[in-house]
Structure formats: C-alpha cells, structure tokens
Amino acid sequence: MSEAARNSWQYKAITWAKGNQSQVGALVVAMCGRITNPPCFNPCGLKIKEDGRVLALAKKNPGDPWAVECVYLAVEDMVSAFRSMADILQDRASNLPFDPITDADREDMFNELRMFIFNDERARKDANIK
C-alpha cells in the first residue's frame, strides 16, 4: 500500500473502526467501493426514507443474498456516528497509530457520505408537487 493511501482519511477510518467489525467501519468500506467478507454493506449507497431511517443493502453471512437493512433509525444518528469517529481521528491525544486527520479530511469524509446517499425521500415529502 502506498504512503498516500495510508495517509488518507479512508485508511485511517477503516483502521480505527476495524473494518467491517463495526457499523460505521463497514459503511466506510462500502463508501470506498469495496465489498468485504460479511457482515458488509453494498457499495451502491444509502437510502433515506421519509421518516429519516437510513437503509442499505447488507449481507450478514457469506452466501446470504443482499437484503435491505435499517442501518440507522434517524439520519441524525448516522451523522452523530460519523462526527464521533471524525472527532477521535482528529484528536492528537487518541493514541492512534497514525497522524490525525485534518479539517480538510473531515470535510471530505462528510462530502463522501453525502454523495453515498443515492435517494433521500425526505426531499419529496416536503415538496409541493402538483
């Protein structure tokens, strides 16, 4: 792996979250376009329902078909999980085996998360379309 790849926020987030061993780690792996051994999320993206639930295609076990799973009960929960991860990755006192991420890395992480959402039904709920 190149030095640039090891310095990326993606590598640092996956390393900290232990890859697919945590929900946020499995989402970061999927955001990078990767599919790991289950449990994992499909890299096709996330869907936000009208009520704010965050859905993804997931596999629990090898050989299982992809199935829709509620990843977070509210968008705010997802944002909070990513903020917590970013706070830890930026904290110099976290004793991480790599340099902290920068403010630009943090901004890029949230931009990638926004782009990973392929459908947000809340937008249609508020629209007055006739």
Render pLDDT for 59-114 as a digit per residue (tens, 0 to 9): 999 999 999 999 999 999 999 999 999 999 999 888 888 999 999 999 999 999 99
Selected residue with higher pLDDT from 77 and 2: 77
Q: Which two tokens stand for residue 36?
A: 């790991």
| Domain regions of the chain by residue span | 3-120
Confidence of residue 128 (pLDDT cuts 50, 70, 90): low
Average pLDDT score over residue span 26-30? 95
Q: Is 1 exposed, middle or buried (0-12, 13-18, 19+ CB in 10 A)?
A: exposed
Ramachandran class of 4: left when φ > 0, alpha when ψ lies in -120 to 50, beta otherwise: alpha
Residues ≥6 apart with Cβ < 8 Å to 9: 89, 101, 105, 106, 108, 109
pLDDT for 96 equals 87
Exposure class string for 9-24: b at 16+ Cβ within 10 A, else e: bbbbbbbbbebbebbb
Q: How far is CA 61 from the centre of its chain?
A: 20
Q: Is the pLDDT of residue 12 over 60?
A: yes
